Structure 1
């Protein structure tokens, strides 16, 4: 795609014209990075990165962040169960009870440099019929990572041009999705979040949106919103949604672009079905050398004000984190 064609495509996007809807939260303990809670509600639009326009976007009914939904559509499955395994955390050897930084190091292979929520007891290992998993608790009336949810970063053993991340996630029965919240993803370079304008890195977390709609929530050099850009998940022509009380498996596939070229890849699968396929993604500008280097466990409600907060305590369960250089599969 030449620069003129791309510029015309971007001109049709609905840009974020309101405030970022962010709340600043110190990102965990000594040496914290000062990350912020970010979010926004989506409005459907065409993709500037080569994807077909997607009609499954959502328009926010409250708050001030009018993030634009710019992705959509599923691609081929690209094979499965290939490549080198970089990380595998299934929590089966973890002791029941409160989850700590030392346990993160044992399960994920690296101790996080800081955390939100672990020191406050918002993460625990639960045993259900012999199956152990990580449960995150989100307190009533709280939003952002400082007061609700959990965040920590797991540096990988190297940096990579291409990786897959897979994990299982289950929202609690009668879960209050409210306006949305964050879910884990891969990041690289400066790993921007928090409505910053930063072209020295990227972040590729997920979000749940209103009614459980699933999106990839992207910070990258060409994002069009003040906060991150939504790329909607869709399977079989329908928007993909998380169902409370049901285990879902998500898989992200990131392949870095040639610096300055629109040839990067962003794909996703939801319960084994293709849900997102962006083939012309730009993760880095012409002079950039960063790669994928970190798993960012990031989950909280928000958004940057109380309109994102649940009215009662909520839980989400996580299990079977896998990072590989090739397709993981269902």
Structure 2
């Protein structure tokens, strides 16, 4: 059977059979019709459909987001989002980063996913010209990642859940790199906070769009250390780590949360930018992927 693309757009779901995706998709969900062609291993995908008309800051709220993504679980500070222009004229989420005593105001959105062991999220990202990575500490989180179970963040040590987010790490020369910020049960680098895995082979091009793909596979049981995390930027594999124990207690380890988490910080003013700065996110799509068969003991 031909695979299907599920586009989640303005409260409607469009089921489209490829290879005729470009001919049959209608509405804002059609923005990512080429995604399946790029990823032949994919069975299904959910794409976040954004309205084509611009929307200013201080208008978007939880009700607005629920129109675009009915499976929204919760959100924080959505008023700092607007709708602007993305790559190839596609609509984009534009976020403003207002300095605060904790870095910058946190914009968070949690979206329910069908529980699965393995997912991939693809997104286009652009940090606008003049973006400041921080002041005394140049680091922050950005874009869409995954979580499951209790979804620990913020220095919580919880063995019944996990999370992974994208991060930036400034080089204190105006440039910055991308990394993965990982809350797994086996983390050791910076307890109680997440492990930082920075990708030195990619420098963020402010003012230009780049594409990030993240694939996560949970461990097959509480006792197993067979989870995996991979990250591609512009189709180049920059991070590939296996043997991860994401979760060791609670229910079966699965991904059930698409987590947008974008802010400077940190939790003090040392992380804050000097001025209000902006970034954009577009072409956001989540793919169901096949979890690899656990290795025999």
TM interval, short-chain normalised: 0.7 to 0.9
CA contact (8 A) 1:142 1:310 kept: no
Aligned mate of 2:129, from 152, 162, 173: 173
Query: 1:253-293: per-residue Cα shift (whole Å, max 9, x none)?
Result: 11111211121111110111001001211112276513100
Question: What is the CA–CA distance in structure 2 between the aligned matches of 1:127 and 1:81, rounded to whole Å?
Answer: 28
User: Does 1:231 pair with 2:197?
Assistant: yes
Across the two proteins, how many residue pairs are aligned to each other?
239
Q: Residues 84 and 100 from structure 1, CA distance in 2 versus in 1: closer, same or farther, beyond 3 angstroms?
A: farther
CA contact (8 A) 2:246 2:253 kept: no
Q: Residues 287 and 106 from structure 1, CA distance in 2 versus in 1: closer, same or farther, beyond 3 angstroms?
A: closer
| TM-score (normalizing by structure 2) | 0.74
Aligned mate of 2:203, from 228, 235, 241: 241
Q: Residues 262 and 112 from structure 1, CA distance in 2 versus in 1: closer, same or farther, beyond 3 angstroms?
A: closer
- CA-atom RMSD in angstroms: 2.1
Q: Residues 155 and 135 from structure 1, CA distance in 2 versus in 1: closer, same or farther, beyond 3 angstroms?
A: same
Question: What is the CA–CA distance in structure 1 between the aligned matches of 2:220 and 2:108, rounded to whole Å?
Answer: 30
Question: What is the CA–CA distance in structure 1 between the aligned matches of 2:181 and 2:231, rounded to whole Å?
Answer: 12
Map 1:95-114 to 2 at 5 A.
Answer: 96-97=55-56, 98-113=59-74
CA contact (8 A) 1:214 1:240 kept: yes
User: Does 1:205 pair with 2:165?
Assistant: yes
Aligned mate of 2:227, from 248, 264, 286: 264
Higher strand share: 2
Unaligned runs of 5+ in 2: 1-37, 291-297
User: Does 1:308 pair with 2:264?
Assistant: no
Q: Residues 258 and 326 from structure 1, CA distance in 2 versus in 1: closer, same or farther, beyond 3 angstroms?
A: closer
Task: Look up the SS of the partner of 2:130 in the other structure.
Answer: coil
Aligned mate of 1:85, from 44, 49, 52: 44
Q: Residues 247 and 143 from structure 1, CA distance in 2 versus in 1: closer, same or farther, beyond 3 angstroms?
A: farther
Query: 1:110-166: per-residue Cα shift (whole Å, max 9, x none)?
Result: 2333x2211xx211111478432110101135535xx6141111111x100111011
Task: Look up the SS of the partner of 1:213 in the other structure.
Answer: strand
Q: Which residue of 2 aligns with 1:22?
A: none
Task: Look up the SS of the partner of 1:215 in the other structure.
Answer: strand
Q: Residues 93 and 263 from structure 1, CA distance in 2 versus in 1: closer, same or farther, beyond 3 angstroms?
A: same
Map 1:13-92 to 2 at 5 A.
Answer: 80-92=39-51
CA contact (8 A) 1:218 1:230 kept: yes
Q: Residues 131 and 321 from structure 1, CA distance in 2 versus in 1: closer, same or farther, beyond 3 angstroms?
A: closer
Q: Which residue of 1 aligns with 2:212?
A: 250
Unaligned runs of 5+ in 1: 1-78
CA contact (8 A) 1:137 1:313 kept: yes
